[in-house]
Amino acid sequence: MSRYRQRMSFRHPERDAIRVDAVLSALGNPVRLAAVRSLDKDGDRNCGNLLAEIGVSAKSTMTHHWRVLRDAGVIWQHQHGREYQLSVRREDLDARYPGLLDAILAGAARDEAA
């Protein structure tokens, strides 16, 4: 029996297939918005660490959230060893929708400070 797990790879939309309504819908949720803010601010993280950081304990809920963000083209989710690494698709989002992600993240920071 192999000691290597099967590599699980997720489908991600190409840059050109990203749609702004899907991006807005994905980020229009407090938990997903907090996750993307954290990833954007502090860099790539594996799922477990990010989960602990934003204080969500239900793994199944987060599995759903990662899928929504991935399908919308907001994050990459790739396997590294036994962990899933997450990162924001900054380059793709900035190329496709200049200023959008910055305006959203600045808005979230403003709401938090209020």
Q: Which of 1, 8, 113, 114 binds its own copies (CB under 8 A)?
A: 114
DSSP annotation of 17:
G
22 scored as a contact of its own copies (CB under 8 A): yes
Residue numbers 59-88 binding its own copies by CB under 8 A:
none
104 scored as a contact of its own copies (CB under 8 A): yes
Cβ closest to its own copies, residue 27 vs residue 86: 27
- Could you tell me the two tokens for 89? 């698709």
Rounded distance between C-alpha atoms, residue 13 and residue 30, angstroms: 23
Specify the residue for token string 């907001």: 74
Nearest Cα to Cα of residue 10 among 113, 107, 85: 85
Binding residues for its own copies, rule: CB under 8 A, are 16, 19-30, 33, 96-100, 102-104, 106-108, 110-111, 114
